[in-house]
Structure 1
Amino acid sequence: MVATPMPTQKRLSIQTAEVAPDTKAIRSLDWDRDRFDIEFGLQNGTTYNSYLIRGEKIALVDTSHEKFRQLYLDTLTGLIDPKQIDYLIISHTEPDHSGLVKDFLQLASQAIVVGAKVAINFLEDLVHQPFQKQLVKSGDTLDLGKGHVIEFVNAPNLHWPDTIFSYDRGTGVLFTCDAFGMHYCSDATFDEDLTAIEPDYRFYYECLMAPNARSVLSAMKRMDKLGEINLVANGHGPLLRYNLTELLKRYRDWSQAQAKAEKNVAVFYVSDYGYSDRLSQAIARGITKTGVAVEMVDLRSAENTEVQEIINRTSAIVLGMPPLSGNNLKEITANIGTILAAANEKQLVGMYESYGGDDEPIDPIFTKFRDVGLKQAFASIRIKETPNEAIYQLCEESGTDLGQLLTRDKLVQQMKSLDHDLDKAMGRLSGGLYIITATKGNVSSAMLASWVTQASFEPPGITIAVAKDRAIESLMQVGDRFVLNVLAEGKYQSLMKHFLKRFKPGADRFAGVNTQTAANGSPILTDALAYLECEVVSRMECSDHWIVYSKVDVGRVSDPDNLTAVHHRKVGNHY
């Protein structure tokens, strides 16, 4: 194993390691990356994993991010003369994995690029130069010799429309790119420490894979037909070997739970156009937080019949504005026509701009949906500048609003159906009144809470139950910091009234409220009785809530003679 540092402001390094017979991992370690596609905060950096398979013929599986250009190419040429590489297998064309394809082909013009049809089409638009190519689909094989027969498995939308897995029958290694990965950077090549990686593994699934739960299950069904899988060689984070069975099972369980949702939303976007894919992912994340399933559909590559089937079974439609010109315009236009023709008045619709510079305008298409009878799910998202954290938060909250609209009737029915005596008994569990406030980057949020309790003495710690569909939940991942504001008895009404009201997506929750900034960057409510500065240590999933355990770093009481406001409920099946 070799680790070579690169002297840059941000720590970048390369790790190479033999991970199976004739199979070497080339892992680009991005130690300090704190955002992924802006909208998802990272606590532990990330990696971009590439693989070299040496049979009688030689294949490279994926490349790396362009920020690693010189370091990656130097490492690769130190391992092998690129002119000896026969194949470049493209798992998908997202830039963090295919960012160096053009550079590689300049060194290895003889290499045949192998990928799904959609991937090859996308790649031609990216590299703008001729190359040898081989299109593959599920069940196709590529014999490298010495027992290394590569079998391909279609896995679209995980999380890119052109994704394909590659399974080496000789070693039992499954190359999965984004699927079964995590944004976690460490010197550990494999998943020895499950406790360390599982929060990032789950958060990665929630952000990127939960909106594609049905696609996850379809891909795993195809995986079941392969031989024994000894190693998952993913595209991000440690490779899965030691906890492989458990971590694959978690993907299946999470996806099955998501796919069983009674309501589902179709989210249409245009890959590789503007910020369409990233914005759609943020909206989808907000939807899935409410327990509503999502189907992500790329307008560039989706079949017309597939689009119609999806519209026929969906409860709501989210549409990202496509380009007015360019490649695949005919296919995109036909798919939008199918959406409009198949939509019905029982569905909701939400729309957003892709910020690609050539967006179809929202209003004419929205008018057509309204003429059919569809109701607006959220205010159309109109983007006038490069999307930042606040825009992505707006998208997520808009998605959550949509999901809550679809599940509102179900929640009312659930409340009415619970046992009356049990309902009253649960309501006798009272608690204090608190406001949680958090800031990450330029995004801030707040939530009224009463399910709070001390959980440890040393270090001092607390637990908070946070509903999965709360906006602040995204700011309370492991490693995040927040403030717990304690409300005072007899002096809490105005603060409680303010934070109980429903805020529009993206609204400033602190407008009109007196605040000061804590050392951890989150707002302190000036009129609160006390405050605690906290850091999230761990999270436990409990049905419709997350139990968030946090250590307390700093605390202060403003009025020692006053007491904490107490909240008494009459029923225990809703707040």
Structure 2
Amino acid sequence: MVALTQLTQVIPNPGRLTIETVEIAPQTTAIRCLDWDRERFDIEFGLRNGTTYNSFLIQAEKVALVDTSHRKFEELYLEVVAGLIDPTKIDYLIISHTEPDHSGLVKNILELAPSITVVGAKVAIQFLENMVHQPFKSMQVKSGERLDLGNGHELEFISAPNLHWPDTILTYDHKTCTLYTCDVFGMHYCDDHTYDENITLIEEDFHYYYDCLMGPNARSVLAALKRIEKLDIRTVATGHGPLLQHYISEWLGRYQNWSLEQAKTETLVALFYIEDYGHSEHLVRSIAHGCAKTGVAVELVDLNSAEPQEVRELVAQASGLVIAMPPQSSVMIQAALSTILAAVHKKQAIGLLESGGGDDEPVYPLRNKFQELGLTEAFPPILVKEIPTQATEQLCDEAGTDMGQWLTRDRTIKQIKSINTELEKALGRISTGLYIITAKKGEIQSAMLASWVTQASLEPLGVAIAVSKDRAIESLMHVGDRFVLNVLEEGKYQGLMKHFLKRFAPGADRFAGVKTYPAKNESPVLAEALAYMECEITSRMDCGDHWVIYSTVQTGRVANLHALTAAHHRKIGNHY
């Protein structure tokens, strides 16, 4: 047994940030960045025990750094890395996924080691190109591919999309039997123990983390577990919390059981595409994002690598299907289409996308086949002949939302009927104003009628708005985004209200026939509005089926000082 050494470096810091370096296997060092006092992590978590950001250094004949850390550790982390190795000697930087808490210091590493090769999934490399804004050497890897570092350290990559980002990969070192998992199997927990010695101390945080991050992608969890089931795993090197070593089978078993239970109750949309064919993968992911906003599960399947039995089983389980039209010249892909057609049933919804590959299967003959089999078309065929733009992505996102809303309509009606009658009447007595939220980002713009709006602060001047998670405009309402809050006028709001309440087709212009002019932040101001305010979003809070968006108010104007804001009175409080 190789003796392992531990060095903990504690540097006084007002935010109680410390770094622990631990040799966890031969030629393998964990760099654990301990954030003792963090109370909240993004929107999802209220933290009781802080968190950690774990990074790993493998020093064989070739040197690999697995993930970096959060930007708040910039000075401490770079100092520790430089103490372990000359950064210019690092050959590979493996990106498990590009979420900022793990890739926040990628740009710094590239500056210190300009000849380094960044290794990641295709989507991860694309994301990084937009993040660092500088050229770098890269290696795109797929599931099953390997990278030999020498001295027996052969790294195998395992695709784990949607856990919990679309670009996630796991990395397995065949010499040390260490599985590097980033977010998967992690937890937000910070203490002096490197490993999971005390299961009772951390199991509640482990479960909470799963519920918040992994539970919504239960089917993807099961797919990842299947891909690693034959590996001899002796250490799970997580991206957050203690490393798993003492109770690995117990932790993985819990993921399996929780995910099986969750998958039984989920409404599923299966999305089929061909990687590297046309714009298939990119646009399908936009549709998947729109579906996920409505609370349905999504499963993305590359028909090039999917087994016929896997396709058959997935189609049988799915409530909705999306197909990015594959090349008609491929015999294997035609066989996959035949498998899908043989497995569908008339209670399912279907959506088709022509992805711009040049040799696409004709969309309308296939559409007719699905209609003859009794499937409901969730959105009209999307035809993409040119390079996708932001508008194309918005169209696909909205198409996915339409599919998700169609599939969950019965659940929504059931929820409306389930609330206590007296309670819903009481809630309905909370009166509000009437407003139109308008937003523009790049070449895309959107709008929604809102009534859950209130002033939320005096210093700074700020407003809070509740936005349903399945609204099209939600994609334009993130921290840093800007919008206009248009106030409707009592007695003059009916026309605008009727216009913005109607159902728009995916990608449709919300402002057709409505007089507008641009605000300073470029969002549309409605010419008929009583008043408007230009706002910038500073935070979002998860409130179940809605986001509560808090924004500071930059500027505003009233068109008629003597008019009143339109008032909204409901009879019941469990739906709009």
Query: What TM-score do the two structures reach when normalised by structure 2?
Result: 0.68
Write the distance in 2 (CA, Å) between the matches of 1:493 and 1:352.
37
Deviations 1:207-263 (A, max 9, x none): xx998542135537969994555552xxxxxxx56999xxx99x9999899856542
Partner of 1:365: 366
Which residue of structure 2 aligns with residue 38 of structure 1? none
Query: What is the alpha-carbon root mean square deviation over aligned residues?
Result: 4.5
- In structure 2, the residue matched to 1:309 is 313
Please say if residues 480 and 536 of structure 1, whose CA atoms lie closer than 8 Å, have aligned partners that are also in contact: yes
Instruction: Indicate conservation of the 8 Å contact 1:432/1:565, yes or no.
Output: yes
Which residue, out of 163, 166, 169, partners 2:172? 166
Kindly report which structure 2 residues correspond to 1:192-207, keeping only aligned pairs within 5 A, or say none: none
**Cα distance in structure 1, aligned partners of 2:372 and 2:169:** 37
Residue 272 of structure 2 is matched in structure 1 by 268
User: What do residues 44-71 of structure 1 show as CA deviations (whole Å, max 9, x unaligned)?
Assistant: xxxxx99862136655556799xx99x9
Residue of 283, 287, 293 corresponding to 2:287: 283
Partner Cα distance (1:281, 1:114) in 2: 19
The 1:399/1:116 distance shift into structure 2, 3 A limit, reads: closer
- Superposed CA deviations along residues 238-293 of structure 1, whole A, max 9, x for unmatched, are xx56999xxx99x9999899856542111111111111111001101111111111
SS of residue in 2 equivalent to 1:435:
strand
Deviations 1:341-368 (A, max 9, x none): 1111111111001112222210121111
SS in 2 for 1:574: coil
Instruction: Give the secondary structure class of the aligned counterpart of 1:569.
Output: coil
Partner of 1:300: 304
Matches within 5 A, 1:389-428: 389-428=390-429
Tell me the CA shift for residue 413 of structure 1.
2.3
Match of 1:550 in 2: 551
Shift of 1:383: 1.4
Aligned position for 1:510: 511
Shift in Å at residue 75 of structure 1?
2.8
1:339-358 matched pairs, under 5 angstroms: 339-358=340-359
In structure 2, the CA distance between the partners of 1:272 and 1:161, relative to structure 1 (3 Å rule), is farther
The answer for unaligned runs of 5 or more in structure 2 is 1-18, 31-53, 65-90, 99-105, 187-208, 245-250
C-alpha separation in 1, matches of 2:274 and 2:417: 42
Partner of 1:496: 497
Structure 1 residues 372 and 530: alpha-carbon distance in aligned structure 2, compared to 1, 3 A threshold: same
Q: Deviations over 1:455-496 (max 9, x none)?
A: 110001111111110001110001100000001111111111
Q: 1:339 to 1:157 in 2, by over 3 A?
A: farther
Task: Give the CA deviation at 1:93.
Answer: 4.5
Q: Secondary structure at the match of 1:505?
A: coil
* 8 Å contact kept, 1:432–1:567: yes
The amino acid across from 2:288 in the alignment is: A
Summarize the alignment of residues 179-258 of structure 1 with structure 2, pairs less than 5 Å apart. 213-216=218-221, 218-219=223-224, 226-227=233-234, 229=236, 232=239, 240=240
The code of the aligned residue for 1:529 comes to L
Comparing 52-61 and 511-520, the one that deviates more: 52-61
Kindly state the Cα deviation for residue 552 of structure 1 after the two structures are TM-superposed: 0.7
The residue type paired with residue 305 of structure 2 is: S
Query: Does the aligned pair in 2 maintain the 1:151–1:169 contact within 8 Å?
Result: no
Percent of paired sites with the same residue: 51
| Aligned residue type for 1:165 | T
Q: 1:116 to 1:517 in 2, by over 3 A?
A: closer
Q: Which amino acid aligns with 1:487?
A: L
> 2:520: which partner in 1?
519
Mapped contact 1:212–1:296 kept (Cα < 8 A)? no
| 1:90–1:115 Cα contact (<8 Å) kept | no
* Partner in structure 2 of residue 3 of structure 1: none
**Match of 2:363, as an amino acid?**
I
Q: How far 1:384 sits from its partner (Å)? A: 2.9
| DSSP-derived class of the 1:485 partner | strand
**1:564 and 1:259, CA in 2 relative to 1: closer, same or farther beyond 3 A?**
farther
CA distance in 2, matches of 1:297, 1:382: 20
Matches within 5 A, 1:460-471: 460-471=461-472
Alpha-carbon spacing, 1:152–1:491, altered in 2? closer, same or farther (3 Å): closer
Q: Distance in 1 between matches of 2:386 and 2:125?
A: 23
SS of residue matched to 2:397: helix
Instruction: Please state whether the residue corresponding to 2:113 is helix, strand or coil.
Output: helix
The answer for the alignment partner of 1:75 in structure 2 is 113
Q: Which runs of 5+ in 1 are unaligned?
A: 1-16, 26-48, 80-87, 106-112, 121-132, 135-141, 182-201, 233-239
Residue 125 of structure 2 is aligned to residue 96 of structure 1: yes
In structure 1, distance between residues paired with 2:491 and 2:566 = 7
Matched, 1:445 2:483: no
Change (3 A) 1:561 1:320: same
Aligned-pair CA distance for 1:144? 3.8
Q: 1:515 to 1:19 in 2, by over 3 A?
A: farther
TM-score by length of 1: 0.68
Partner of 2:59: 54
Q: Distance in 2 between matches of 1:50 and 1:273?
A: 34
Is the CA contact 1:211–1:295 (under 8 Å) kept in the aligned structure 2? no
Mapped partners of 1:509, 1:558: distance in 2: 23
Report the counterpart of residue 332 of structure 2 in structure 1: 331
SS at match of 1:340: helix
Shift of 1:94: 4.6
Q: Which SS does the other structure have where 2:388 is aligned? A: coil
**DSSP-derived class of the 1:300 partner:** coil
